[in-house]
A = this chain, B = another copy of it.
Amino acid sequence: MNFTSFNPPVRTLMGPGPSDVHPRVLTAMARPTIGHLDPAFVAMMEEIKALLQYAFQTSNALTIPISAPASAGMEACFVNLVEPGEKVIVCINGVFGGRMKENVERSGGVPIVVDDAWGEPVDPNKLDDALKAHRDARIVAFVHAETSTGVQSDARKLAEIAHHHDCLAIVDTVTSLGGSPLKVDEWDLDAVFSGSQKCLSCPPGLSPVTFNDRAVDKIKKRNTKIQSWFLDLNLVMGYWGSGKRAYHHTAPVNQLYGLHEALAMLQEEGLENAWTRHQQQHHALRSGIEAMGLSFLVHPSARLPQLNAIMVPEGVDEAMLRSRLLNEYNLEIGAGLGELAGKIVRIGLMGYGANMKNVMYCLEALEAVLADMRAPIRTGVAMNAAQSAAVLN
């Protein structure tokens, strides 16, 4: 055994995340480590909190990054808010709704599932019906932007229904934060979690979360101790809260440098401008995709610009397609998950990666590989897919 330094290949990351990371963020990751209680570090933590409030469009004091990937941010929401025996309505229209159900069960709660087809948004009427049938439920959980399908649901409407029935709303915004409109305060979302590796263009490893007063109040009034020590927000806030910092865990210092840089860049660009950019690049990609004769899984009314689920043409081996894009073009796109495995590929346009160069490169590469695989595409049109996208850029 004699291992040397690992030098990764330079990929273009257009899967469901991680997305391409801006050089400024990578540079920030390599700055000298300082202590997690260093006054200079604490000052940077305050900036991260303010920048996350901006990204989430909230004034919630409890707006921080959890020191672990988004799955841990999801778990933080459930273990802090759900008490044993409590009913939680979980809307499932993809992989991540299913994961939330798992979290409810492991937190000792009782999940009531509202099912929608994968590729469809959550149906507000079904949620309303479920809440009428389960008047003792106190929490509703749903995914704003389903990474597994590229669908967005109407978070404002779903939260409104939840509140009408005296429930809190736990919302998965892993793929929406920074990429498409998300307004935590205006939409009155109670507990929200996200990830660093999607539209914020950071490496994976951190999970921004925000909790409003209603959610914090529920945590404070719990009858039972929170089952996780690491994710207990009462303890976490001793470190991240204002005032004197108490040691809880050792924060991932260099990861937080990266997040700070990415959030500062988002502020420089402006949140609305970032949303518009994602939309524009999506239009360009769509134009090229459709010119190739390919189609989208999701209806335009519910389609996320940053996560494009494309139907795999009849007769094309999806795994081979992705493998050839990776090996011949250093281009990563995503597979379908669960019931969509083999049927779709997922093309991410996230954060820094939502740019003209990536869109055109992806279209050219996709076209070349599909042509070579003798997919039934309309060749004449397909040859011009990238040009077609270019017009829009």
Contacts and interface: CB of A to CB of B under 8 A. Distances in A.
A71 interface: yes
B69 A250 contact: yes
A41 interface: yes
A208 interface: no
B253 A337 contact: no
A104 B22 CA distance: 42
A244 B264 CA distance: 38
A234 to B, nearest CB: 12
Interface stretch (A31-39, A123-131, A160-168, A277-285): A31-39
Interface string A28-62: 11111111101111001001001100100000000
A53 B241 CA distance: 38
Nearest to A35: B332
Contacts of A258: 254
Contact of A3 (B50, B203, B250): B50
Contacts of A260: 3, 5-6
Instruction: Please tell me how many copies of the chain the complex holds.
Output: 2
Contacts of A135: none
Given A50-B1, A99-B229, A205 B6 contact: no
A346 to B, nearest CB: 12
Given A9-B40, A35-B18, A227-B227, A252 B4 contact: no
A69 B67 contact: yes
B106 A68 contact: no
Interface in A220-254: 225-230, 247-254
Contacts of A18: 33-36, 250, 253
B205 A67 contact: yes
A205 B203 contact: no
Interface string A269-297: 00000000000000000000000000000
Contacts of A26: 30-33, 254
Contact of A254 (B41, B203, B230, B337): B203
B70 A250 contact: yes
A6 B230 contact: no
B24 A253 contact: no
Interface in A104-135: 105-108
Contacts of A5: 24, 28, 260-261, 264
Interface in A3-25: 3-11, 13, 15, 17-18, 20-21, 24
Given A72-B68, A106-B226, A8 B257 contact: yes
Interface in A65-107: 67-72, 75, 99, 102-103, 105-107
A10 B248 CA distance: 24
Given A8-B34, A38-B332, A72-B249, 5 more contacts: A1-B54, A6-B47, A9-B38, A13-B33, A205-B252
Q: List the 8 closest pairs (A to B, CB-CB), nearest first.
A: A205-B252, A30-B30, A68-B68, A71-B249, A203-B254, A204-B250, A26-B30, A21-B33
